[in-house]
Amino acid sequence: MTPKEQTRLKILNSLLAEHMTLDQAATLMCVSPRHTRRILAAYQEKGAATVAHGLRGRKPANATPEPVATAVVHLARTRYAGTNHTHLSEVLSDRDGIDIGRATLWRILGNAGLSSPRHRRQPKHRVRRQRMPRLGMLIQMDGSHHPWLGDRIPPFTLLIAVDDATGTVVDALFCEKEDAHSYFLLIQRLLQRRGIPLALYTDRHGVFRHTPGSGLPGMPTQFSRAMDELGIQMLFALSPQAKGKVERMAETFQDRLVTELRLAGASSIGEANSVLEQFLPRFNRRFRVPPQYPEPAFRPLDPEPCLEQILCFKHRRKVARDNTVRFQLHTLQLLPERERPSYAGAAVEVLQGLGGRLSVRHEGRIISSQEAPPSPVFLRNGHGGSESVPVRSSSANGLGEHWISTLEPLGSRAEDQNGGGLITDGAANPGRPAAAPTRKPTFLQKERWKAIQKARRKGMSLRAIERELGIHRATIKKYTDAEGPPTRQSPVVSSTSSSDTIEA
């Protein structure tokens, strides 16, 4: 008996013993006095069995016959193995003439130990996040690639920075693509106009953090390194809904801003930025939400350190014996100074500014440098010593020379140049000989080799390392068999130019 039936049995016994009245018993059993008399009469005639429901133990009239259930289980295990429950109910009706509902099929197969091959995640409870109390405490940033000017020019990107407290667009910028250079320009304008925010809320784009397949999961990107130097905390959203303000702002701009650009007759990115400068104040006045506290949280921008030395691309280099530093398609000659006449063998940083200007820094101080003269190899092969054109880094994650294949200086592709970025001037590659010495491992090769060796020491298989680091299995095997980071051959041009420069 159920607890309810046991309680009702006690009430009937008390009623028979005249310990309570009929109305009191009806009230306790939540039935009418007339129905209480029926229950009492049946109890006196047939006993305690009348307290239980009369249909208990009886088979329902619409129950699925046992042979049909057995046939369904057999078909699900053999002919229709691997079919999800909804599809299986349709197949059984079309092919075998068995009309059975999905819920009934799910119950029959569940009792037989057959679960649906299609798994669904359990819904998560989500709550709306509270706004930050002050302007500048949290800035949400994202890029929106869209045909902003219609069919007039190819689609390009709008970078948006939205304040979390007020919902205003603190800054926005049209650019060709979403890369580190464009985000540096956006941050530079934001810092100069409003100040330094406390935190940035972004997605996990390669500009802001290294992807798992890059081999550098713990290394900062150029953008995250710059934000750390400015004291800005980086927060990463795990879903688009987490940074819903900037996502909805991009959707709104794809409607309103496209109309504004069309009415203004903008036909280029520069003209679109001019229209955007006039559009943002009107938009913010219309949709701004007052913050909880009026005092903004932006920190003032200090004159020191220099902002140009922070919002730039920094690359580590070692000074050669002839006091030159190589960077991509450039060779920089370090000039002697009174404090230190030679920097040979010193570890320095090459700073590539947003305008493409290159400078060399050592221990926090800029070293005087100039473009090195062309190497004798180029002069002997009849190449002129034309000045190199400043190269702008197009790397989205700030790896610089590791992505030199995306650079196209002087109208030619970088892979056609000398040594993937070790050329000393802007001339073309005179040709590669058959035998060439090997170059030193790059920073990316060293970090990738360390990560693979660490995974092998943990006992991970090649397949597990491939899934963990996102590197091809053949590359993993090459790195595990090697005693050190594998290197590739370097053209004779680069090595000979160094020695010939010393001899010269």
**What does the angle CA 151 – CA 158 – CA 205 come to, to the nearest 5 degrees?**
120
Query: What's the whole-number mean pLDDT along residues 219-246?
Result: 91
Q: In the numeric block, which tokens belong to residue 199?
A: 């935190």
The answer to whether residues 321 and 367 belong to one domain is yes
Contact assessment for residue 387 and residue 371, using Cβ atoms and an 8 Å cutoff: yes
Q: For residue 409, what are the domain limits?
A: 312-416
Residue 119 maps to a domain: no
E strands in 342-495: 347-352, 358-362, 365-367, 369-371
171 SS3 class: strand
The answer to whether residues 473 and 450 belong to one domain is yes
Residue 78: count of CB within 10 angstroms of its CB: 8
Please give the Cα distance from 391 to 99 (Å, whole number).
70
Amino acid 410: pLDDT: 33
The answer to whether residues 172 and 149 belong to one domain is yes
Amino acid 303: pLDDT: 75
Residue 300 maps to a domain: no
Residue 43 maps to a domain: yes
Cβ partners under 8 Å of residue 313, min gap 6: 180, 222, 351, 352, 393, 395, 398, 400
Cβ partners under 8 Å of residue 440, min gap 6: 487
Amino acid 45: pLDDT: 86
- This prediction has a pTM of 0.57
Q: Which of 496, 498, 478 is nearest to 487 (CA)?
A: 478
Does the structure show a pLDDT above 80 at 370? yes
Residue 124 maps to a domain: no
What type of residue is 364? G
- Where among 416, 434, 451 does a domain terminate? 416
Contact assessment for residue 338 and residue 463, using Cβ atoms and an 8 Å cutoff: no
- In Å, how far from its chain's centre is CA 189? 24
The answer to whether residues 17 and 77 belong to one domain is no
Contact assessment for residue 301 and residue 196, using Cβ atoms and an 8 Å cutoff: yes
The answer to whether residues 23 and 81 belong to one domain is no
Residue 293 maps to a domain: no
Give residue-wise pLDDT tens across range 441-471.
887 888 888 888 888 887 788 878 887 787 8
Query: pLDDT grade, residue 123 (50/70/90)?
Result: confident
Residue 435 maps to a domain: no
Please give the Cα distance from 161 to 194 (Å, whole number).
12
The answer to whether residues 8 and 146 belong to one domain is no
Please give the Cα distance from 397 to 1 (Å, whole number).
69
Residue 222 maps to a domain: yes
The answer to whether residues 331 and 461 belong to one domain is no
The answer to whether residues 188 and 238 belong to one domain is yes
The answer to whether residues 146 and 280 belong to one domain is yes
Q: What are the distances in angstroms from CA 407 to CA 230, 399, 401, 432, 501?
A: 29, 13, 10, 20, 26
| Cis amide prior to 303 (ω within 30 degrees) | no
Amino acid 477: pLDDT: 83
DSSP character for 424? S
Query: What's the whole-number mean pLDDT along residues 119-141?
Result: 87
Amino acid 488: pLDDT: 59
How many domains is the chain partitioned into structurally? 5
The answer to whether residues 336 and 374 belong to one domain is yes
The answer to whether residues 358 and 461 belong to one domain is no
The answer to whether residues 107 and 151 belong to one domain is no
Cβ partners under 8 Å of residue 439, min gap 6: 419, 422, 487, 488, 489, 490, 494
Q: In the numeric block, which tokens belong to residue 101?
A: 């509902």
Q: Which of 442, 441, 410, 416 is nearest to 429 (CA)?
A: 416
